[in-house]
A and B are shown apart, each in its own frame.
Chain A
């Protein structure tokens, strides 16, 4: 059996989760402070991928990053990166698609902390960054883990947006969900069954492990 779709899927989920973790911490913390109209607007835009059909998002990304014109052409000329039908494109689409899954829990986590915690830290002479690192982040740990689990698991199951921008190139953009679809199209149900079972099993074990290790802190995505 060709393992590359499985490997590619986990590589994509891992990279997406790592990049989004850093972005999510910054954006989630920023959004948790206050409710200005600007923040409301940003939050609305960031929540869009939750409700838009993945194919719509994929279609716009395909247009935006098409190497023939506009932004895609500019990026190709200046950085020699082509997002369409390439792995970096999958990562980019994945990041955009998963923003609400990471930012949402992290924002709620920070917002649920009493403002007195940071105030107490400031009176002890600590600056904002140290307060964030030593007080806020450890106490929002459950929310951060929830965001990571959601992002990772959700990336494993991506289909529409990945197919639109990445296509179905073996070893480059053919992730497990697409390999399953492709096998079914070719009437190869055994292969589709194998991929499905592996994806199902690994995802199940992964989420179970994370919840076992963090039973005290992690919140179920269903909560």
Chain B
């Protein structure tokens, strides 16, 4: 079971708001997060990863607590065994594709498998600036999988891929996620991608906004 119960102040284009999320899902499962722009979807992923800290809340993954603000406890990111596919990829400019994967794992067979899944076997010596946008995005995905995470957080992970690549990649990805028993949390705007990951759908509402009434003359 993964339990998320958090509150965090966020800034939106309309002013300050509060992101409130209460979510409970079995493990493993596919979790889809949707919500309007600026509602805090990326913020939620970063809170789960341990990159951001909410003012209030608890996160529990299986038996272990990852966060408990009441007890002032935060489990370091490194110990959460998760993968993160960043919206802007966050690839390391100094490393080749293969070095990216070796940075996460020493398991050669696993690296081969990921390369095959992403159809990137011939690009192992390329650095990020020698890859196309779609290739960079696929690298970001397989790098996140390199550590065989228990939880995969994906922030718009297929936005730069064409339909043909997606048709090949996503079923392969699902097979790999099943193989390593990995729960995935997907943030996506594309309804087509939602169909690929049937499971729990959590919709973040526009955050409660302190300034909205004062700012919007139509209200």
Contacts and interface: CB of A to CB of B under 8 A. Distances in A.
A125 B78 contact: yes
A15 interface: no
Interface residues of B, number: 25
Contact of B103 (A116, A127, A134, A141): A134
Interface string B40-63: 000000100111000000000000
Given A119-B51, A139-B93, A124 B146 contact: yes
A122 B92 contact: no
Max chain A C-beta neighbours (<10 A), residue from B91, B92, B147: B92
A125 B77 CA distance: 7
Contacts of A126: 78, 103
Contact of A117 (B50, B84, B90, B144): B90
A120 B84 contact: yes
B94 A119 contact: no
Contact of A122 (B78, B91, B94, B143): B78
A39 B94 CA distance: 29
A35 interface: no
Interface in B83-123: 83-84, 86, 88, 90-94, 103-104
Interface in A117-150: 117, 119-127, 134-135, 138-139, 141
A138 B94 contact: yes
B82 interface: yes
Contacts of A114: 88, 90
A134 B78 CA distance: 16
A116 B90 contact: yes
B72 to A, nearest CB: 20
Secondary structure of the A side of the interface? helix
Interface string B114-139: 00000000000000000000000000
Interface string A20-35: 0000000000000000
B90 A120 contact: yes
Contact of A123 (B84, B93, B94): B84
A122 B93 contact: no
Contact of B82 (A123, A135, A138, A141): A123
B49 A123 contact: yes
Contacts of A121: 92, 103
Contacts of B80: 123
Interface string A38-76: 000000000000000000000000000000000000000
Max chain A C-beta neighbours (<10 A), residue from B78, B82, B83, B143: B78
Max chain B C-beta neighbours (<10 A), residue from A114, A116, A126: A116
A95 to B, nearest CB: 29
Nearest to B91: A120
A138 B78 CA distance: 21
Contact of A124 (B46, B88, B91, B147): B147
Interface of B: 46, 49-51, 76-78, 80-84, 86, 88, 90-94, 103-104, 143-144, 146-147
**Nearest 7 pairs between A and B by C-beta?**
A116-B90, A138-B94, A120-B90, A122-B77, A123-B84, A124-B104, A125-B78
